Structure 1
Amino acid sequence: MKKEISSAVTYALSRGFQIHPDAFKILEKIDVKELQNIIKQVVREKAKQNMFLISQNDLKVFVESEVDETAQDNHVILFDPTKNVTSAEGIDGFTRLFSDRYSKLLKIMMVRSQSKKLTPIANVTDAKLGDETFIAGLLMDRRIDRDVTKLVIDDPTGSIEVLVFSRELQEIANSLLMDQFLMASIANAKNGGFITRELLVPDIPEHIANHSKTETYAVLISDLHVGSKYFMEKEFAEFVSWLSSADAVARKIRFLLICGDIVDGVGIFPNQDKELLLMDINQQMAKAAHLLDKIPKHIKVFIIPGNHDPGRRALPQPAIPQKHNMSLWNRENFFMLGNPSLIQLNGVRILMFHGQSLDDVVGTTPGLSYAQPATAMRALLRTRHMSPIYGKRTPIAPELEDFMVINDVPDIYHSGHIHVVDLDMYKGTLIVNSGAWQTQTPYQAGVGINPTPGIAVIVNLATMKVFTKDFTENSS
């Protein structure tokens, strides 16, 4: 018996397993370089099932073709802001940005029957209004004065303050995000001013998601933070190794979506150097490229930047500059995109957005928390905008066009940033926050964020069924 086979058998026996005689024939056919990892994988999976006999069937998959040739891998990049970023400057730039936001979202709302009753704010006076007068604009201010919520709404013609008395409407009003688009039905108040009868937001419609015609899997991950001392390199290497394995699911994976923060960056926050293993951004990118190079070539990899990656930090972000990752840009199966981007995989539309604005959504909306980022992502879908709030933690560039508007309804909405795996289904859209590959940092511990790192989110694009695979379970 070969030394490698003997070592593999000894490992299995030491953990209480028996090996069927027929299985030895298969062991002799397995590449000796992979044998030890394979026997450990089989032992782990059989132990979960409380089955302690390793048979021929448990091993033969590892000597058969590792790639399922029936799985399709068609892709279309529907939107990437990289070549469209043309920032304006100052007040004029932001005026054009918010004007474009208003126009795009108004167009989305024009399918509503109420839009036929819209009146420009400048035309609304203290005179008696009609039975149903609607206004539409961006929410510029909200104040709660005793039992009354006051909203200030702007459109291109002017500004108006409306009062909300109804408890039901106040719940809606208090959940609105600042600077988001809304439509309101208003009437004259008895003592002057205007009261609100109805509040409408753009929202996404109920829809049936597109599906792949073949059983093909996409893996969704985010926030590697390569270069940080908290980066889980061992677990990430196991994940990449699994992609090349003969695992029944791995053989059908054709797409890997990485939603930003590939590296930890340099100078992102005070005293960051104390948490870094690699102090140079190019060293971090080179390390990331080395790790990602092991991803099998039949898997297409889509990468967008996050707030820790090199390049522009204000939204929208172009792709990570080539000067920092030339080796990634030059790979046939890698696609470097901007943040946000919209792609189509085997007919399934996937919106990728790193998720910087989730900090502002959680920080300004009662009832939301970092423990459930998918709920905050749902709030952004309701606004049809990925970063509506201006002037808080998320930097927004004064673009001539607002590329953060969600024009097309996605089948999957994928973000990261929060480092917590969370899933939700909203009106036919699968919401995925894909966690991280970085253990809890001192900052996260200080603010009570408990990350769920080392987990890959896997979606069957044919059925839209989603499940997770935890690579921390085998890290001991």
Structure 2
Amino acid sequence: MLKEEVSSAITYALSKGFQIHPDAFKILEKIDVKELQSIIKQVVREKAKQNMFLIDQSDLKMFVESEIDDRIENNHVIMFDPTKKVTSAEGIEGFHALFQNRYSKLLKIMMQRSQSKKLTPISNVTNGKLDEETYIAGLLMDRRIDRDVTKLVIDDPTGSIELLIFNKEIQDTANSLQIDQFVMISIASGKNGGFFVKEILVPDIPDHIANRSKTETYAVFISDLHVGSKFFMEKEFAEFVSWLSSPDPIARKVRFVLVGGDIIDGIGIFPNQDKELLLLDVDQQMAKATELLDKIPKHIKVFIIPGNHDPGRRALPQPAIPEKHNMHLWNRENFFMLGNPSMVELNGVKILMFHGQSLDDVVGSTPGLSYAQPAKAMRVLLKTRHLSPIYGKRTPIAPELEDMMVIDEVPDIFHSGHIHVVELDMYKGTLIVNSGAWQSQTPFQASVGISPTPGIAIIVNLATMKVFTKDFTENSS
């Protein structure tokens, strides 16, 4: 005789016009009775979308832990996490060490270029030692436009130099550079003294063929939940988490979820924030976030980095959300709390995770960029090979002894959030993903004309790099 819960679930399915294959009954009896009703509703909802009205064994198998398809590869390696490396140096000396390290790391990357054989220290040039073809390398300290001439000031450990640009094409390149970024420049002596620019080279990532997973495995990219805010889309996010447990053929092959920061809305992040909060305490917000994330199936690995709204250090690089705030997420077998930025390798695919605070500075200082196209701003970071090149603007940078924001390793996927606008791009073999948000438009966003695209999960097939989006706002009333 069938258990009462199983009988009730079957009655529900029949009332919706479904038939149930005899083989399905054996699986129904194995499913936890507390979850049975919601599971049947999920199956009915997904199958109805496909106009298929027969529930068979395959539709229910994944809800029994032992029935998870273990042929799908789910290997991970944490390649870089700043959490244990964050030390913070002090004051001016600390920043000197940081920029010295930035210069050294990026110079090492540039030394792979053929032009690097013609590099000379700035002090040699200012002392009058200039060959027919000379390159210098350093950080861009200043840029000014005076009539039709662009002036750059470049700094290396031996000194600084002012350079003039007369060529319109080179001026356009110079105007797109980020202050404090690394450049390599071909220079020549001017007839009336001074030095002018012949060519500008930036570190950039090389063209490459992305690594692929051996099995058809899906990774889901999300960001900016802002749990605790009145504008957090709890219903849609709960539906997303529920979908991960559903019989949907793609959901069944998801083995990784990557969360790009701003798990909660935080406290005191901006003026009068309390008027926009449902939960007025950081730990209440984190407890709510944990409750929602906790429902992600155990066979899916979840990687979480902090954003500027999350508890802990605000300056970059950020260590993982402190254990005292993240409830029991630290101790979950399938959860990995990482710092910002971090690099993970999933089935061989290298993924750079960065919340994206510096995108504010890049958008604000680069002609032609806007918040409507965050992937284009992310391209700029790949070209500079640095996740936060500009010092002294909106993005706080800590005076670390090592510059952990340099993009040493070329990623196959570059994932950010922060802007709340979904956008995808491909650049030199790297898939760029800005994964939007789970927070509807806030009064501040409305006041500055930002139109977010919330409630969308980005799904990537790691075997083919094919990208899907699933919009969880479609069923909302």
- How far residue 185 of structure 1 moved from its aligned partner, in angstroms, is 0.3
- How far residue 119 of structure 1 moved from its aligned partner, in angstroms, is 1.1
Counterpart Cα distance in 2 of 1:428 and 1:93: 36
Amino acid corresponding to residue 189 of structure 2 in structure 1: N
1:294 correspondence with 2:291: no
- How far residue 7 of structure 1 moved from its aligned partner, in angstroms, is 4.7
Partner residue in 2 for 1:62: 59
1:337 correspondence with 2:338: yes
Amino acid corresponding to residue 55 of structure 1 in structure 2: F
Partner residue in 2 for 1:443: 444
Partner residue in 2 for 1:201: 202
Counterpart Cα distance in 2 of 1:251 and 1:7: 23
Q: Is the 8 A contact 1:126 1:188 kept in 2?
A: no
Amino acid corresponding to residue 36 of structure 1 in structure 2: K
Q: Name which of 29, 36, 41 aligns with 2:41.
A: 36
- The C-alpha deviation readout for 1:412-445, integer Å capped at 9, x for no partner, is 1000000011101100111000000000011111
Counterpart Cα distance in 2 of 1:42 and 1:450: 33
Counterpart Cα distance in 1 of 2:14 and 2:451: 39
Q: 1:275 to 1:89 in 2, by over 3 A?
A: same
Q: Is the 8 A contact 1:436 1:454 kept in 2?
A: yes
Q: Secondary structure at the match of 2:383?
A: helix
Q: Is the 8 A contact 1:126 1:192 kept in 2?
A: no
Q: 1:321 to 1:471 in 2, by over 3 A?
A: same
Partner residue in 2 for 1:228: 229
- How far residue 475 of structure 1 moved from its aligned partner, in angstroms, is 1.6
Q: 1:7 to 1:63 in 2, by over 3 A?
A: closer
Amino acid corresponding to residue 62 of structure 2 in structure 1: S
Counterpart Cα distance in 1 of 2:7 and 2:327: 43
Q: 1:378 to 1:274 in 2, by over 3 A?
A: same
Q: 1:166 to 1:59 in 2, by over 3 A?
A: farther
Amino acid corresponding to residue 63 of structure 1 in structure 2: L
Counterpart Cα distance in 2 of 1:125 and 1:151: 15
Counterpart Cα distance in 1 of 2:182 and 2:462: 32
- 1:94-243 correspondence to structure 2 within 5 Å: 94-125=95-126, 127=128, 129-243=130-244
Q: Is the 8 A contact 1:128 1:188 kept in 2?
A: no
- How far residue 3 of structure 1 moved from its aligned partner, in angstroms, is 5.7
Counterpart Cα distance in 2 of 1:79 and 1:474: 38
- How far residue 24 of structure 1 moved from its aligned partner, in angstroms, is 7.2
- 1:316-355 correspondence to structure 2 within 5 Å: 316-355=317-356
Counterpart Cα distance in 2 of 1:351 and 1:24: 45
How many residues were matched structurally?
460
Partner residue in 2 for 1:16: none
- How far residue 147 of structure 1 moved from its aligned partner, in angstroms, is 1.5
- The C-alpha deviation readout for 1:141-179, integer Å capped at 9, x for no partner, is 111112211111000111111111111111111100110
- How far residue 257 of structure 1 moved from its aligned partner, in angstroms, is 0.5
Aligned alpha-carbon RMSD (Å): 1.8
Q: Is the 8 A contact 1:261 1:307 kept in 2?
A: yes
Q: Secondary structure at the match of 1:406?
A: coil
TM-score for both structures, normalised by structure 2:
0.93
Amino acid corresponding to residue 39 of structure 1 in structure 2: V
Structure 1 residue ranges without an equivalent (≥5): 13-18
Q: Is the 8 A contact 1:86 1:399 kept in 2?
A: yes
Counterpart Cα distance in 2 of 1:9 and 1:422: 41
Counterpart Cα distance in 2 of 1:128 and 1:79: 41
- How far residue 63 of structure 1 moved from its aligned partner, in angstroms, is 2.3
- 1:298-313 correspondence to structure 2 within 5 Å: 298-313=299-314
Q: Secondary structure at the match of 2:362?
A: helix
**Percent of aligned positions that are identical:** 73
Q: Is the 8 A contact 2:39 2:246 kept in 1?
A: no
Q: Secondary structure at the match of 1:124?
A: helix
Q: Is the 8 A contact 1:126 1:193 kept in 2?
A: no
- How far residue 190 of structure 1 moved from its aligned partner, in angstroms, is 1.6
1:457 correspondence with 2:462: no
Amino acid corresponding to residue 259 of structure 1 in structure 2: G
Counterpart Cα distance in 1 of 2:183 and 2:118: 14
Partner residue in 2 for 1:427: 428
- The C-alpha deviation readout for 1:377-409, integer Å capped at 9, x for no partner, is 000000000001000000000001100000000
Q: Secondary structure at the match of 1:323?
A: coil
Counterpart Cα distance in 1 of 2:23 and 2:476: 27
Partner residue in 2 for 1:15: none
Counterpart Cα distance in 2 of 1:33 and 1:403: 45
Q: Secondary structure at the match of 1:469?
A: strand
Q: 1:2 to 1:78 in 2, by over 3 A?
A: closer
- How far residue 25 of structure 1 moved from its aligned partner, in angstroms, is 5.7
Counterpart Cα distance in 2 of 1:125 and 1:267: 49
Counterpart Cα distance in 1 of 2:207 and 2:197: 26
- How far residue 35 of structure 1 moved from its aligned partner, in angstroms, is 2.3
Counterpart Cα distance in 1 of 2:142 and 2:56: 64
- The C-alpha deviation readout for 1:42-91, integer Å capped at 9, x for no partner, is 33x23xxxx5xx332x6554223353321111111111000001111111
TM-score for both structures, normalised by structure 1:
0.93
- 1:235-254 correspondence to structure 2 within 5 Å: 235-254=236-255
Q: Secondary structure at the match of 1:324?
A: coil
Q: 1:70 to 1:94 in 2, by over 3 A?
A: same
Q: Secondary structure at the match of 2:153?
A: strand
Partner residue in 1 for 2:382: 381
